[in-house]
Amino acid sequence: MVATVDTTQLNWMTTRVDAALGWARKFSIFQYPFVTACCGMEYMATATSHYDMDRFGAGFPRFSPRQADVLFVVGTISHKIAPVLRRVYDQMADPKWVVAFGVCTCTGGFYDNYATVMGIDTIIPVDVYIPGCPPRPENVLDGLMKLQDKIAQGTRAPQAPDPAQRPDELHTPHRPEAHL
């Protein structure tokens, strides 16, 4: 004799801790927008009420990397600003995710010159790539939902190596004037 339970009458549920954490995290995305170029306009369009990123729990940009979960890299990254981007990434607390917003961050886009980084994944690990020049807000939201899936599953891009273990050529030179 097997006891049957009417699950519709239950007012409790079982889960795993990491699944519960992932569910909670995917709806509380504190993003750090690293906006450098024209994609920023599309990012703003997505963030405002018409498309309403807050539906996905991502409506609260933090402008301190230490309070952020997701790094939105929005716009062309030049070799000059690359050390700044990596420093911002290194300052973020774990767990953290990175979204490459627009083709310039994905691959360098139509830039192929002395100044532009050909894809930010040569500098930091990237979780979600959103192509487009710039991507439509629908495209951004699609990428955001894919990121939510990734957060819920607890998967992440391969970790950036321990800074002390990086090869010499990847070390960030100490250049306090780099942002000038």
Partner 1 sequence: MTSDLTTMLHARFPAQIIAAHNYRSQQTVLIKREGLLEITRALKDDPSMAFDFLMDLSCVDYLKFGKSQASAPTLTTPSPLPYYMEPKTDAETWTRGVSHDEYRFELVYHFYSSSLNHRLRVKVPLTSADLTVDSLTGLWHSADWFEREVWDMFGVRFAGHPNLKRILMYEEFKGHPLRKDYPVRKRQPLIGPAN
User: Using the rule CB under 8 A, is 80 a contact of partner 1?
Assistant: yes
Q: How far apart, in Å, are the Cα atoms of 165 and each of 136, 141, 158? A: 39, 36, 15
User: Using the rule CB under 8 A, is 49 a contact of partner 1?
Assistant: no
How far apart are alpha carbons 146 and 152 in whole angstroms? Answer: 10
Query: Token pair 């083709």 is at which residue?
Result: 103
User: Using the rule CB under 8 A, is 178 a contact of partner 1?
Assistant: yes
**Residue closer to partner 1, measured from CB, 91 or 172:** 172
Kindly report the number of other CB atoms within 10 A of residue 141's CB atom: 19
Peptide bond into 135 cis (omega under 30): no
Side-chain half-sphere of 138: how many Cα atoms within 13 Å?
Answer: 0
- 44-65 b/e with 16+ CB inside 10 Å = b? eebbeeebebeebbbeebeeeb
User: Using the rule CB under 8 A, is 108 a contact of partner 1?
Assistant: yes
Hey, which residues between 118 and 177 contact partner 1 (CB under 8 A)?
Answer: 118-119, 122-123, 169-173, 175
Among 47, 68, 82, 147, the residue binding partner 1 under the rule CB under 8 A is 82
CB of 112 to partner 1, least distance (A): 8
- Chain-centroid distance of CA 18 in Å reads 20
CB of 96 to partner 1, least distance (A): 18
**Residue closer to partner 1, measured from CB, 94 or 168:** 168
Among 55, 66, 79, 179, the residue binding partner 1 under the rule CB under 8 A is 79
**Residue closer to partner 1, measured from CB, 66 or 80:** 80
How far apart are alpha carbons 156 and 174 in whole angstroms? Answer: 28
CB of 79 to partner 1, least distance (A): 5
Write out the residues near partner 1 by the rule CB under 8 A.
79-80, 82-83, 86, 108, 113-115, 117-119, 122-123, 169-173, 175, 178
